[in-house]
Amino acid sequence: MNDISPLDPTIPGAVWRYKWLVLFLVMVGAVLGVAWATFTSPVFTAKAELIVEDPGAITVFDSTRSAQSDRYTADQVQILDSPAVENSAEAIVLTQLPDFDNDVSDMSTIDGDSDSSLITIRVSGPDKQEAQIVANALVAAYQQVKEETAETSAEAALAELDASLAEVDNQVLDIQARVAVARSSSLLRADLDGQFTRAVDRIVALQDELADTTSDIRAAAIRLELSDLLLQVQTYQEIQSVESTNPTLSPLIQELESTIARRSTLETRRDEIAVDSKLVTRGISLTSPAPLPKGDGREATRAGIIGAVAASFLAMGAAYSIAIRRRSFTSRAEPEIVIDAPIISEVPRFADEGITSALPVQDMPQTRTAEAFRFAAAALDIQSASSGARSLVVISGSARDGKTTVLANAAMAAAREGNRVLVVDADFGSQNLSQLLVGNIPPATGITEVVETGADLRRAIVTVPVADGASLNLLSRGHRPVIAANFFRSAATRVFFEGIRDEFDLVLIDTPPLLHVAYTSIISRYADGALLVVNHGGAVSELEEVVDRLEFIGTKPVGYIYNRSPLRADQTDIEGSLKDILGGGVATMRSNGEPSKGLLKRWSKVPGAAAAPGSMPKKRQANPAPAPERPAATDSPAP
pLDDT of residue 579: 54
Q: Is 231 exposed, middle or buried (0-12, 13-18, 19+ CB in 10 A)?
A: exposed
Cβ pair 603, 582 in contact under 8 A:
yes
Residues of the chain with pLDDT under 70: 1-7, 55-70, 114, 179-190, 192-193, 236-250, 277-283, 571-639
CB atoms within 10 A of CB 153: 16
Phi, psi for 283 (deg, rounded to 5): 85, 10
pLDDT of residue 324: 76
Helix ranges restricted to H, 517-615: 519-525, 540-553, 577-582
Cβ pair 406, 347 in contact under 8 A:
yes
Residues of the chain with CATH 3.30.1890: 5-156+283-307
In DSSP notation, 335-352 reads HHHHH-S-EEEEEEPGGG
Strands (E), 467-536: 471-475, 506-510, 529-535
pLDDT of residue 437: 93
pLDDT of residue 277: 67
pLDDT of residue 527: 94
Cβ pair 315, 21 in contact under 8 A:
yes
Q: CATH number of the domain at 5-156+283-307, out of 3.40.1350, 3.30.1890, 1.10.3470, 3.40.50?
A: 3.30.1890
Residues of the chain with CATH 3.40.50.300: 335-582
pLDDT of residue 240: 66
CB atoms within 10 A of CB 350: 22
Fold that domain 335-582 belongs to in CATH: Rossmann fold (3.40.50)
> Which residues have C-beta within 8 Å of that of residue 108, sequence separation ≥ 6?
121, 122, 123, 134, 135, 138
The closest of 377, 507, 488, 471 to 427, measured between CA atoms, is 488
Q: Is 189 exposed, middle or buried (0-12, 13-18, 19+ CB in 10 A)?
A: middle
CB atoms within 10 A of CB 507: 27
What are 188-244's pLDDT values in tens digits? 566 766 777 777 778 878 877 877 788 888 888 888 888 888 887 777 666 666 565
pLDDT of residue 502: 86
Residue type (1 letter), 526: Y
| Proportion of the chain in helix, strand, coil states, percent, rounded to 5 | 55, 10, 35
> Which residues have C-beta within 8 Å of that of residue 37, sequence separation ≥ 6?
298, 299, 300, 302, 303, 304
| Cα torsion 307, 308, 313, 315: sign | positive
> Which residues have C-beta within 8 Å of that of residue 15, sequence separation ≥ 6?
22, 315, 316, 319, 320
pLDDT of residue 396: 93
Residue 412 gets which letter from DSSP?
A: H
Cβ pair 149, 65 in contact under 8 A:
no
Helix ranges restricted to H, 490-633: 491-500, 519-525, 540-553, 577-582
Residue 574 CB-half CA count within 13 A: 27
Cβ pair 365, 582 in contact under 8 A:
yes
Cβ pair 412, 472 in contact under 8 A:
yes
What are 595-618's pLDDT values in tens digits? 444 333 333 333 333 333 333 333
The crossing angle, in degrees rounded to 10, of helices 300-325 and 19-39 is: 150
Q: Longest C-alpha distance within the chain, in Å?
A: 172
